[in-house]
């Protein structure tokens, strides 16, 4: 029985469907409720800060004064001219963005805590805020932090020696400036934490909605100067993360500090407004891209000038380099181009700090590169499909200009599949007919690759002070015959309990339902880095596979004793160890014997540990969108959305398709709907979901998914990661489709989200220019 | 702040609570009744995660106060499965069609769909998209949710094929 490749129903689902899941907010019984005072100004001095004049018994006030001695959050990069910016857990003298936590109140009820926060006496001296990229980069701009004069916190520069020559000689040079506005990852469960002091042991358990529980434990212990062993971090059911829940946030350190100091339980359940303004933002990048092309459309050279507005601080542990440096390293994508020059800068402003969000910089670079391909095709007078086919990497392994190795993939094949499915000639006829009726439909393509499943080498190359990447899995068979997998990865909706069970079931010849995956608890799992960067199935899955194989060796040895056979002649299948002679023993019976009659065996241990730290692989996909743009209103309707994706071996097709669809929906949101808007003074104008407008099922179309499975030798299971891919291709495909639809106006979409007002402005400008 | 005695039923069981007038129904259910299956996603009536049925009508429990449901019959996600935990047809369809990932928005979608399945009108493709667009999901891209409600409606004889615009395979 092969379990890998089957759409096994998720083990996670029944409890969640009965309302019996356990999210952080469900674990706060008996805890004091914590609410934060947040800065209403973007930049300025805290002149005075005093607790409410009247504090009811039992209520607690905490600010920088009470927390004196706490270290600052200071993630490091040792490359790329990184300027280390220090973030106080609670600021004593200055605030740096609207929403920054300044102080907290803990009280018996949420209502009381909120009343008391309003009664905190605080006075600010407002100073001018630096909000946008242009303002931050002015020669006389005031520095957001003294440590980073000029407001550039990180800068990567790569000059390919032949780039200038290539551009000077190229028949066609196409230049493009793109802008991807600021987003918030918006998990449906906002951040949440509950720190509980255990008087019997003196330990603290922090239950929190996070993606990296082990890293959070290390980080908080360092900030507070406490023994790491005295802190347990538990990530229970986590209501989505998408990157936002990776960072070490000050609020969690405050909760642990409160629990320690006051020997009690303290819970903070973030509200949506806090999440939108003060958790972490993403995107907000502006690129200028130049492509040098031969007369036949061959891409000869690429130049990228990358600016990322990284906000007021640097997220721990990824640092504010994560966005600009990823764009820098991966811009050439799936295309053959060796002459590549780039400069990427992370720019500090008085805005909410940035953290990685699904796809990180790849949705932006794919938007840039795929817009460049379409514009170049137009300039040269060739077909958008032809220009891509001409330039896509088609023999592997391929060494990129930035030193990455592209492993086996299907860049050309996924494009060809999509083209065949779309029937482009028929579409062009329909498009022409529609235009005669004053209707504007368009088709857009996006081909991209996505670096997934990368271990420590990739992070070390960035010069990160903290280098994540490996995963460890402990496996054990209980005396009852169940298999327990303890993993360092930390799922938050991906269905990893099911997927990993499928991988292990095949290696041990058991049914997945005897496998229990234990995760999200630093007391019960080996140190690991959590779930992010499309890594868990590849890295934790690879470690699970190795761990299972090591356990299989032990089971065969034990069975050899029972069956009086040679270990190498024993196979594990259908929950049995079967000898060549046909005699067999149930694994459950074997496990009981090994544990309870160890005197009969050479070894009594049915536990193993395995680690995996791969170099990484590349998934790929071609996305295609057909849209109709209402020229009167600027509204975009998606008529068809198609994905041809290749993430190597698919462990569970049901779950894989769900990841792709969810990603595409977020990519569509990026392309058309969502934007965090700051006013000039640094206040946020989009503090509710009614302003931020995540799309509903009325806006997200049915998404067709087609698969290819290029089995990569770069991973143990043959699987490549696919958690982020959906969100990477959609902005480019949609922007290309809108530009194609509005070609009669000569409109090129270079700014997303392409909201109705923006599209109407482009149409008005085009009509005025006629 | 003064407290008000409020009595209502939740999933058929009588609840009598003493609550401040400003306490929302969502908080009342979670904090006073211990029913944490109802989730609060935005507290401003946009996401719909907190949707419950009040006298059989879907309502955002973050937008009504606990004191407003005095005398009402409330239904929440905890009342959907059989006593032994067996999933009902709608819940099972959500599992079969991967209508959830993180599961945080799921209670709201289940209660909204329960209302659609119970009301006199059969469900059409158009009404499905219209009603389900009341709520937000961040994980699934909605397709699994819509597929699940379609499947449950068919199984329960509540699907109107005549009203179907498009039905994905």
Average pLDDT over residues A101-113: 96
Share of residues in chain A with pLDDT > 90 (%): 96
Burial class (CB in 10 A: 0-12, 13-18, 19+), A566: exposed
Put simply, the answer to whether A188 touches B132 (Cβ < 8 Å) is: no
Answer for the pair A492, A624: CB distance below 8 angstroms, yes or no: no
Task: Confirm whether the ipTM is greater than 0.90.
Answer: yes
CATH number (3.60.15.10, 3.30.70.260, 2.60.40.1180, 3.30.365.10) of A282-456+615-769 reads 3.30.365.10
Q: Using CB atoms, which residue from A186, A237, A269 is nearest to B103?
A: A237
- Residue A413's pLDDT band (cuts 50, 70, 90): very high
Task: Mutation target for B interface from A15, A16, A184: give the one with most B CBs within 10 A.
Answer: A16
For residue A1, pLDDT over 80 is answered with: no
**B9 and B49 belong to one structural domain:** yes
CATH of the domain at B127: 1.10.150.120
**B98 and B142 belong to one structural domain:** yes
Residue-by-residue DSSP string for A192-216: EEEEEEETTTTEEEEEE--S-HHHH
- Residue A35's pLDDT band (cuts 50, 70, 90): very high
3-state helix, strand, coil in chain A (%, to 5): 35, 25, 40
CB atoms within 10 A of CB B13: 12
Answer for the pair A756, A633: CB distance below 8 angstroms, yes or no: yes
Question: Higher-confidence residue: A676 or B1?
Answer: A676
Residue B34 lies in a domain: yes
**B102 and B146 belong to one structural domain:** yes
Please tell me the distance from the alpha carbon of residue A746 to that of residue A5, in angstroms, as a whole number: 46
For A526-541, the pLDDT digits (tens) are 999 988 888 889 999 9
Put simply, the answer to whether B141 touches A664 (Cβ < 8 Å) is: yes
CATH of the domain at B31: 3.10.20.30
Q: Using CB atoms, which residue from B96, B104, B166 is nearest to A240?
A: B104
Q: Which residue of B has its CA nearest to A701?
A: B143
Put simply, the answer to whether A18 touches B80 (Cβ < 8 Å) is: yes
Count structural domains, chain B. Answer: 2
- Residue B169's pLDDT band (cuts 50, 70, 90): very low
For A546-561, the pLDDT digits (tens) are 999 999 999 999 999 9
DSSP A13: H
Q: Using CB atoms, which residue from A269, A694, A698 is nearest to B138?
A: A694
Burial class (CB in 10 A: 0-12, 13-18, 19+), A636: buried
Q: Which residue of B has its CA nearest to A272?
A: B42
Going from the C-alpha of A672 to that of each of A215, A365, A735, the distances in angstroms are 35, 17, 9
CA A236 to chain centre: 19
For residue B78, pLDDT over 90 is answered with: yes
Put simply, the answer to whether B104 touches A239 (Cβ < 8 Å) is: yes
* Residue A515: closest CA among A540, A484, A536: A484
Question: Which residues of chain A neighbour B37 with C-beta distances below 8 Å?
Answer: 18-21
Position of tokens 């009744």?
B33
Going from the C-alpha of A9 to that of each of A285, A497, B98, the distances in angstroms are 39, 11, 8
Q: Which of B79, B111, B129 is the last residue before a domain boundary?
A: B79
Task: Mutation target for B interface from A691, A696, A725: give the one with most B CBs within 10 A.
Answer: A696
Which numeric CATH code is attached to A457-612? 3.30.365.10
Share of residues in chain B with pLDDT > 90 (%): 93
**B114 and B93 belong to one structural domain:** yes
pLDDT score, position B163: 63
**B74 and B102 belong to one structural domain:** no
Question: Which residues of chain A neighbour B145 with C-beta distances below 8 Å?
Answer: 697
- Residue A583's pLDDT band (cuts 50, 70, 90): very high
**B106 and B71 belong to one structural domain:** no
- Residue B167's pLDDT band (cuts 50, 70, 90): very low
Q: Using CB atoms, which residue from B40, B95, B134 is nearest to A9?
A: B95
**B10 and B75 belong to one structural domain:** yes
Put simply, the answer to whether A665 touches B141 (Cβ < 8 Å) is: yes
Put simply, the answer to whether A19 touches B36 (Cβ < 8 Å) is: yes
Put simply, the answer to whether B138 touches A186 (Cβ < 8 Å) is: yes
Q: β-pairing, A751-752 with A172-183?
A: parallel
**B74 and B99 belong to one structural domain:** no
In Å, how far is B57's CA from the nearest CA of chain A? 19
Please tell me the distance from the alpha carbon of residue B68 to that of residue B17, in angstroms, as a whole number: 12
Q: What is the pTM of this model?
A: 0.97
Buried (b) or exposed (e) across A278-310, using 16+ Cβ within 10 A? bbbbbbbbbbebbbbbeeebbbbbbbbebbbbb
Q: Which residue of B has its CA nearest to A189?
A: B41
Instruction: Report cis status (omega within 30 of 0) of the bond before A397.
Output: yes
End-to-end Cα distance, chain A? 67
Residue B168 lies in a domain: no
Average pLDDT over residues A202-221: 97
Question: Which residues of chain B neighbour A696 with C-beta distances below 8 Å?
Answer: 132-136, 142
Q: Which residue of B has its CA nearest to A661?
A: B141
Q: Which residue of A has its CA nearest to B109?
A: A17
Q: Which domain holds residue B45?
A: 3-79
Question: Which residues of chain B neighbour A492 with C-beta distances below 8 Å?
Answer: 102
Put simply, the answer to whether A271 touches B43 (Cβ < 8 Å) is: yes
Question: Which residues of chain A neighbour B46 with C-beta distances below 8 Å?
Answer: 688-690
In Å, how far is B120's CA from the nearest CA of chain A? 23
Q: What are phi and psi of A300, to 5 degrees?
A: -95, -30
For A128-138, the pLDDT digits (tens) are 999 999 999 99
State the SS3 of A504-541.
Answer: HHHHHCCCHHHEEEECCECCCCCCCCCCCCCCHHHHHH
Residues of chain A with CATH 3.30.365.10: 282-456+615-769, 457-612
DSSP A743: G
Put simply, the answer to whether B37 touches A19 (Cβ < 8 Å) is: yes
Put simply, the answer to whether A688 touches B20 (Cβ < 8 Å) is: no
Please tell me the distance from the alpha carbon of residue A505 to that of residue A517, in angstroms, as a whole number: 12
Please tell me the distance from the alpha carbon of residue B67 to that of residue B54, in angstroms, as a whole number: 13
Q: How many CA atoms lie within 13 A of A410 on its CB side?
A: 21
């Amino acid at each position: 029985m092969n379990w890998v490749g089957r759409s096994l129903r998720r083990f996670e689902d029944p409890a969640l469907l009965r309302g019996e899941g356990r999210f952080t907010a469900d674990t706060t019984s008996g805890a004091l409720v914590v609410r934060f005072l947040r800065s209403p100004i973007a930049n300025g001095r805290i002149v005075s800060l005093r607790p409410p004049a009247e504090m009811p018994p039992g209520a607690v006030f905490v600010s920088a004064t009470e927390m004196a001695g706490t270290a600052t959050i200071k993630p490091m990069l040792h490359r790329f001219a990184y300027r280390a910016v220090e973030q106080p857990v609670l600021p004593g003298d200055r605030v740096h963005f609207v929403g920054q936590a300044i102080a907290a109140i803990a009280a018996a009820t949420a209502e009381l805590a909120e009343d008391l926060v309003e009664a905190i006496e605080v006075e600010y001296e407002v100073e001018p805020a630096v909000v946008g990229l242009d303002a931050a980069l002015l020669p006389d701009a005031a520095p957001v932090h003294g440590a980073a004069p000029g407001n550039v916190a990180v800068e990567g520069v790569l000059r390919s020696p032949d780039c200038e020559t290539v551009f000077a000689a190229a028949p066609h040079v196409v230049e493009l400036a793109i802008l991807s506005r600021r987003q918030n990852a918006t998990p449906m469960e906002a951040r949440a934490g509950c720190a509980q002091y255990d008087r019997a042991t003196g330990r603290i358990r922090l239950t929190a909605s996070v993606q990296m529980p082990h890293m959070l434990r290390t980080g908080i212990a360092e900030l507070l100067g406490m023994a790491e062993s005295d802190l347990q971090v538990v990530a229970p059911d986590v209501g989505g993360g998408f990157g936002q829940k990776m960072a070490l946030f000050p609020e969690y350190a405050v909760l642990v500090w409160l629990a320690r100091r006051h020997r009690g339980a303290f819970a903070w359940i973030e509200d949506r407004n806090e999440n939108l303004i003060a958790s972490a933002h993403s995107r907000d990048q502006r690129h200028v891209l130049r492509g040098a092309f031969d007369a036949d459309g061959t891409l000869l050279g690429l130049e990228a000038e990358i600016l990322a507005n990284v906000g007021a601080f640097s997220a721990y542990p990824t640092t504010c380099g994560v966005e600009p440096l990823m764009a820098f390293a991966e811009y050439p994508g799936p295309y053959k181009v060796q002459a590549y020059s780039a400069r990427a800068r992370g720019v500090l402003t008085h805005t909410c700090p940035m953290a990685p969000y699904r796809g990180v910089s790849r949705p932006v670079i794919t938007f840039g590169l795929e817009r460049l391909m379409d514009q170049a095709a137009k300039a040269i007078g060739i077909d958008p499909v032809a220009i891509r086919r001409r330039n896509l990497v088609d023999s592997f392994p391929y060494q990129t200009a930035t030193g990455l190795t592209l492993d086996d993939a299907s860049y050309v094949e996924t494009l060809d599949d999509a083209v065949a499915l779309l029937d482009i000639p028929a579409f062009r006829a329909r498009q022409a007919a529609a235009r005669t009726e004053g209707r504007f439909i368009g088709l857009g393509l996006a081909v991209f690759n996505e670096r997934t499943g990368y271990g420590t080498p990739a992070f070390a190359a960035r010069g990160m002070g903290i280098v994540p990447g490996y995963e460890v899995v402990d496996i054990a068979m209980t005396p009852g015959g169940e298999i327990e997998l303890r993993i360092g990865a930390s799922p938050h909706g991906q269905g990893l309990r099911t997927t990993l069970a499928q991988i292990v079931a095949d290696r041990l010849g058991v049914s997945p339902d005897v496998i229990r995956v234990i995760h999200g608890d630093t007391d019960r799992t080996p140190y690991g880095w959590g779930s992010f960067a499309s890594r868990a199935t590849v890295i934790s899955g690879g470690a699970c596979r190795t761990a299972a194989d090591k356990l299989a060796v032990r089971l065969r040895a034990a069975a050899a004793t029972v069956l009086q056979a040679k270990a190498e002649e024993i196979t594990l299948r259908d929950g049995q160890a079967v000898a060549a002679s046909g005699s067999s023993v149930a694994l459950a019976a074997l496990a009981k014997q090994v544990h309870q009659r160890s005197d009969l065996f050479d070894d009594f241990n049915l536990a193993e540990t395995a680690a995996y730290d791969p170099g990484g692989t590349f998934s790929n996909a071609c996305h295609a969108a057909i849209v109709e743009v209402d020229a009167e209103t600027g509204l975009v309707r998606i008529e068809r959305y198609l994905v041809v994706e290749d993430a190597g071996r698919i462990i569970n097709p049901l779950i894989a398709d769900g990841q792709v669809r969810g990603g595409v929906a977020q990519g569509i949101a990026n392309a058309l709907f969502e934007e965090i808007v700051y006013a000039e003074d640094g206040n946020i104008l989009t503090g509710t979901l009614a302003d931020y407008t995540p799309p509903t099922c009325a806006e997200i179309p049915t998404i067709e998914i087609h698969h290819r499975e290029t089995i990569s030798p770069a991973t143990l299971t043959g699987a490549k990661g696919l958690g982020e891919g959906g969100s990477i291709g959609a902005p480019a495909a949609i922007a290309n489709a809108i530009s194609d639809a509005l070609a009669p106006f000569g409109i090129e979409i270079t700014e997303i989200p392409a909201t109705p007002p923006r599209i109407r402005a482009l149409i008005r400008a085009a009509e005025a220019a006629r | 702040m003064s407290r008000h005695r409020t009595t209502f039923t939740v999933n058929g069981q009588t609840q009598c609570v003493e609550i401040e007038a400003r306490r929302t129904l969502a908080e009342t259910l979670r904090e006073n009744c211990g029913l944490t299956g109802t989730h609060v996603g935005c507290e401003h009536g946009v996401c719909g995660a907190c949707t419950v049925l009040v006298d059989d009508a879907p309502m955002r429990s973050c937008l009504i106060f606990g004191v407003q449901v005095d005398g009402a019959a409330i239904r929440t996600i905890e009342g959907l499965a059989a006593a032994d935990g067996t999933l009902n047809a709608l819940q099972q369809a959500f599992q079969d069609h991967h209508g959830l990932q993180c599961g945080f928005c799921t209670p709201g979608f289940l209660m909204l769909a329960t209302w659609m399945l119970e009301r006199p009108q059969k469900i059409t493709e158009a009404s499905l998209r219209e009603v389900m667009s009341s709520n937000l999901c961040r994980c699934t891209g909605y397709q699994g949710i819509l597929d699940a409600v379609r499947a449950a409606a068919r199984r329960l004889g509540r699907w109107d094929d005549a009203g179907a615009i498009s039905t994905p395979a």
